[in-house]
Amino acid sequence: MTRHDGRTPSQLRPVTFTPGFAPNATGSVLVSTGETRVICSAMVEEAVPRWMKEQQVTGGWVTAEYSMLPYSTLQRKQRDSSRGKVDGRATEIQRLIGRSLRAALDLDKLGQRTMWIDCDVLSADGGTRTASITGASVAAALACRKLMADGKLKQWPIKQLVTAVSVGIVHGVALLDLCYVEDRDAAVDLNVVMTEGGQFVEVQGSGEESTFSEAELNTMLDLARGGIGELVGMQRAVIG
């Protein structure tokens, strides 16, 4: 099967990483996967949340915020600030990003500081949450590298890079890295988050008015593993 953009079922969209995109951040990268583009930044605060102090929790903390800019979609998306609240989808995604990054970092080695991860979607054509996680991992690594260079960290805190990709079943065929049109038409949609060592951090999957078999699930997971392996290589090339 050849997809509408010419890719094979197991082929990622063209992926690029532009490090240092947000110069005021401790670490940042613009990640582009096809027409989806996300700015991922990491900024470090020399303090931890109050609840950690009250509960005497050691180490540091990593948290994330996610937003889609008004012009990221075909129809203008209203800013959360003008609505007075964060929408449920954004809340779910930023919690996913935070969980994914915390799984990849040794928070004790991070020390008594908070790493803020911000993911701002410039252009959305499917896979914004997976692109955000993949880019956020790079931004966090670049931030840690700067902290090491500045003498603020004594030990490298990143245990493994973390990466994410979408897979799905469209018109009966399992496809890797869905764009918006494929995501819209998918009978099954899966988001897979893994470490570079091949361990799962999270798998989000659902049948869109459909069901899927164990064999189909395994096929999609195999596609995801292959795509994540490629993405890890690209992440490593950026971090150096």
Domains of the chain: 15-239 (3.30.230.70)
| More confidently predicted of 22 and 208 | 22
Residue 114, CA atoms < 13 Å, CB-side half-sphere: 15
Q: What is the pLDDT of residues 35-79, one digit of tens each?
A: 999 999 999 999 999 998 889 898 999 999 999 888 898 888 887
Look at residue 210 in the predicted model and tell me its pLDDT: 87
**73-110 as b/e: b if 16+ CB within 10 A:** eeeebeeeeeeeeeeeebeebbebbbbbbbbbbebebb
Question: Would you tell me how many other CB atoms lie within 10 Å of the CB of residue 52?
Answer: 17
Entry field: residues in the chain: 240
CA-CA distance, 45 to 61, in Å (whole number)? 10
Q: What confidence category does residue 218 fall into, taking pLDDT thresholds of 50, 70 and 90? A: very high
CA-CA distance, 86 to 82, in Å (whole number)? 10
Handedness of CA 53, 54, 56, 61 (dihedral sign): negative
In whole numbers, what is the pLDDT of the chain averaged over residues?
Answer: 93
Tell me what the mean pLDDT of segment 203-207 comes to: 92
State yes or no: pLDDT of 1 exceeds 90: no
The C-alpha angle 196, 2, 131, rounded to 5 degrees, equals 30
CA 173 to chain centre: 25
Q: What confidence category does residue 148 fall into, taking pLDDT thresholds of 50, 70 and 90? A: very high
Look at residue 79 in the predicted model and tell me its pLDDT: 78
Q: What confidence category does residue 16 fall into, taking pLDDT thresholds of 50, 70 and 90? A: very high
Look at residue 157 in the predicted model and tell me its pLDDT: 97
Q: What confidence category does residue 81 fall into, taking pLDDT thresholds of 50, 70 and 90? A: low
Of 5-14, 83-92, 137-146, 176-185, minimum mean pLDDT range: 83-92
DSSP per residue over 177-236, as a string? S--HHHHHH-SEEEEEEEETTS-EEEEEEEESSS---HHHHHHHHHHHHHHHHHHHHHHH
Q: Which residues pair with 189 in a beta bridge?
A: 168, 206
